Structure 1
């Protein structure tokens, strides 16, 4: 049940409630009369179709009620109460309409997914919402449906999507459906980031040919399909500080062993080294 709407002019107040049940709704109206009024009228408008009489000159009770039941959803129902003591009229408006989805920007975008967001005005009816998305404006994929509050204020919805391709632009929109109909939000886009290329795999092996002034540094590299270079870093502490020249490690996916000879070392000094690619 929606909260009662109340509009007042002078001393007269028209109020009402809208109750929805599936594809139908009931409207209960009540008002207080102006104390010195001798004539009253109640009129009704559906959408913008003009005013029609419901009651004319009802008894001037202190409080009067009227039930307008079994109405079809998908329309705006407006009522006005007038008395001979009023120039203006009081109005009460009730609606149960197609939902209004608003697509909002995606967040938490990674190389394989993101979170889609939207706002759903349920139009006063029990409503389901979901997102449609895909690599073109034709969309083609959808998230699971989720229930949305049946109030006429916008409710936030979101859904995480995964399994996307980095660097590919994706289109998406919020969608909502209730007894009154289905509505699509505007189409927005987002682009998952390009995945980082694989890094080479390296293994440092034991040095060989160690003398008082030099050694042969050894290691292996797998380029993992990306054009790569390798070199050795070494030094008298774990900070290293020296390096050999860079050499090609190819671009294949096979592990190869490499070595480089170094000289000019100090006998009795411990040296640290590693292969880098």
Structure 2
């Protein structure tokens, strides 16, 4: 009876150890990651926007669906790469489809970022990021006449002399008209801005640097700003930049609204499965506390088993 129990103990322990070795092996981790990278059976691609006006644009994209599952597709867009707005979802079956959506209510002379998104039972797939800039607007013309962007231009440049309660805002004003212009900065703690500096006359100088120092700011706070120029016929807003006031630490400057098209690689934001996260992909070494505990149990079990087998060997030898 005692021998039968020992035999059962040995078989059970060997089965447990075998299962744990398999769980920690690269074979399982590779299988888990392989499933992650191949299971999202759809791809989403962002194409350049079209029909761009002062207040609207058509977003374009395409989706390729391999499986027979219905896949929903839509666009995300906004005035920075955080996006924040989305279009209605449209469902597609298997195959390759082009889709578009017209958005309106946009601001003139403003850069917008957008990307395609698809979703099915396998998860969400994001397309590459793209951007466009709406047309310029003649603010004194009720017919909203589009003007040349080179006629009167405000260029926002990074802030400097940043402290815990102030900063110097910088800009460049380009004037190719014979009409004198005024320049100022709009700034605030959100993209809505809300504050303006005192307008300064920049005359008819073709190119002039525009600076203004603002004070009374809060430490460790993000502020947004842009340069603005206006004459009797036209007005132009520069791109929005941001800075962070110091809090006895370093200060950073970030351009969140550049007037250029950007491209980013498609990304799949699916996270690794439980097993892969615990044991690591393609490695016998765990990558988490739970994995370390399992490895410790494995080592202790091996020691106990070795001791047991060695005792049996000695018993047989003496008998």
Give the TM-score, by structure 1 length: 0.37
Alignment TM-score, normalising by the size of structure 2? 0.33
- Structure with the higher helix share, 1 or 2: 2
- Asked which structure has the greater CA Rg, the reply is 1
